[in-house]
Structure 1
Amino acid sequence: MNARDPLRRDLRRRRAALSQAERTHAGCLVAKHLIHTPWFRAARNIAGYLAVGGELDAWPALLAAHRVGKRIFLPVLAPDGRLWFQRWTTNTPMRHNRFGIAEPAASANRRLEGRALDLVLTPLVGFDRHGNRLGMGGGFYDRTFAYQRLLPNWKRPALIGLAYDFQEVEALPCEAWDVPLAGIVTPAGARRFGVP
């Protein structure tokens, strides 16, 4: 068993206990904070996610981005255990991946690698004040953005976590493969973690 598993279970249980009204309200507050950040204002290509399992709903933020003409991308599982990002529009056909999560139907001409994006809104289970992110345990985001850990001056895209306030923990054990967040947006506001 991984040392992070008990914390992951506890935070997922707390997240799942939220009512739909609480989740909707939190997603709207996060969107209001996000649109006033320099990350959002400077971004042209923004990736988000479709919330599952009580994750903070990124949809209000993605719709706000879409309304002001930003290009929206959603993650697609790649065969090598990383993520590709597929362009999303209101006409994009969707399918379910092997985890049952909706994703855009693959189309090579509408797909980007992570480094071509400006801003990536990431789901998470927990985070700490240093920008360490606790995900679901699959490592998809860490593998996709590993180049940011290996090339410290390359910070594109900005990886911004979306979370409920209670998901902040005192400290997370940091593994060699973990890619930190540039910032976090919660219903209480937005914070940077020392990188653009």
Structure 2
Amino acid sequence: MLELKTLRKQLRQQRRAVTRTQQQHAQQAVLQRLIRLPKFQYAKKVGMYLHAFGEIHTHRIIEYCFAHSKQVYLPMICNMNQHLVWVQITPQQYRQRRFAHHRLGMQEPRTSRGKHISHLDLVLMPLLACDTHGTRIGMGGGYYDRTLASAPQHPYRLGIAHDFQLIHTRLPRENWDQPVDALLTPQHFLQFKRTLKR
């Protein structure tokens, strides 16, 4: 088992050290793999994140979705229950960057209402680390875990990460940790068998 605190610190540093050129190459490689996946091809409603902390950039993926008539949804933190709700954005909203800055450092849609995550067909999730069993380590806020716990069967959960975020040592998984269905990196695509909790 890895010491999680040390791993989190190390991976945060590695993500911050990724150069703009490396990000562009990684983003393009992920997009090329993503568009070949049937789960993405058939998805009409796609949950996405706006990169803010060195994650794989999502700009080209978002623009691809718009170009291929897919609905793009972005997460917004619901202050009442600390879950994520999902807000559909238009190409105009996205290109004009009409977002609000959240105190945690990311941008959110400017609205008071959103959809439950089960409304989506596919959610592309950021992460700090993922192992070869689908255990995902997030930023520590627990927002995705709380949200996904209320939607055990839908949508399909696809982690998006840099290659160095794929950990080959088994990560600890707590009862509340929500695994992903698959992980996509510039060089890898891994699918996992997820046991559904009823």
* TM-score, normalised with respect to structure 1: 0.90
| Cα distance in 2, alignment partners of residues 18 and 88 from structure 1 | 28
Matches within 5 A, 1:128-143: 128-143=131-146
Match in the other structure for 2:118 = 115
SS at match of 2:91: coil
Match for 2:181: what amino acid? A
Q: Is the CA contact (8 Å cut-off) linking 1:86 and 1:107 kept in structure 2?
A: no
Aligned residues: 186
Number of the residue aligned with 1:22: 22
Q: Supply the RMSD in Å over aligned alpha carbons.
A: 1.3
Residue matched to 2:88: 87
Tell me how far 1:107 sits from its aligned partner: 4.6
| Runs of 4+ residues over 2 Å off in structure 1 | 90-93
Q: Is the 8 A contact 1:45 1:118 kept in 2?
A: yes
Scaled by the length of structure 2, the TM-score of the pair is 0.89
Percentage identity across aligned positions? 35
State the distance in 2 between where 1:82 and 1:159 align.
16
Q: Which structure 1 residue ranges, 5 or more long, are not aligned? A: 149-153
Please list, as runs of the form range in 1=range in 2, the aligned pairs for 1:149-160 lying within 5 A after superposition: 154-160=152-158
Would the aligned equivalents of 2:182 and 2:192 in 1 still touch at CA under 8 Å? yes
Aligned partners of 1:166 and 1:136: how far apart in 2? 16
Question: In the TM superposition, what whole-angstrom CA distance separates every residue of 1:70-122 from its partner, at most 9, and x where no partner exists?
Answer: 000001111111101111112323111121311110153xx211011010000
CA distance in 2, matches of 1:96, 1:17: 23
Residues 112-164 of structure 1 deviation map (CA, whole Å, 9 limit, x = unaligned): 1101101000000000000000100000000001035xxxxx42101100001
Query: What is the rounded CA distance, in whole Å, between the counterparts of 1:63 and 1:192 in structure 2?
Result: 25
After superposition, residues 1-196 of structure 1 pair within 5 angstroms as 3-79=3-79, 80-92=81-93, 93-108=98-113, 111-148=114-151, 154-169=152-167, 170-195=169-194
